[in-house]
A and B are shown apart, each in its own frame.
Chain A
Amino acid sequence: EAGVAQSPRYKIIEKRQSVAFWCNPISGHATLYWYQQILGQGPKLLIQFQNNGVVDDSQLPKDRFSAERLKGVDSTLKIQPAKLEDSAVYLCASSLQADSYNEQFFGPGTRLTVL
Chain B
Amino acid sequence: AQSVSQHNHHVILSEAASLELGCNYSYGGTVNLFWYVQYPGQHLQLLLKYFSGDPLVKGIKGFEAEFIKSKFSFNLRKPSVQWSDTAEYFCAVNHPGGYQKVTFGTGTKLQVIP
Which residues from chain A sit less than 8 Å from chain B, CB to CB?
3-4, 40-45, 48, 50, 55-56, 91, 93, 98-101, 103-109
Contact = CB atoms under 8 A, between A and B. Distances in A.
**Max chain A CB contacts within 10 Å: which of B32, B49, B101, B104?**
B101
A98 B99 contact: yes
B99 A50 contact: yes
A104 B44 CA distance: 9
Contacts of B45: 105-106
A107 B44 CA distance: 8
Contacts of A106: 43-45
Nearest to A40: B106
A40 B90 CA distance: 11
A103 B46 CA distance: 7
Residue with the highest number of chain A CB atoms closer than 10 Å, among B90, B102, B105: B102
6 contacts: A4-B43, A41-B107, A42-B90, A42-B106, A105-B45, A106-B45
Determine the main DSSP class of A at the interface with B: loop
Contacts, number: 55
B104 A42 contact: yes
B49 A100 contact: no
B95 A108 contact: no
Given A100-B32, A100-B94, A43 B99 contact: no
B99 A99 contact: yes
B55 interface: no
B100 interface: yes
Contacts of B100: 99-100
A60 B90 CA distance: 22
A98 to B, nearest CB: 5
B97 A45 contact: no
Nearest to B93: A100
Interface string B86-114: 00001010111111111011110000000
Contacts of B49: 103
Contacts of A4: 43
A100 B106 contact: no
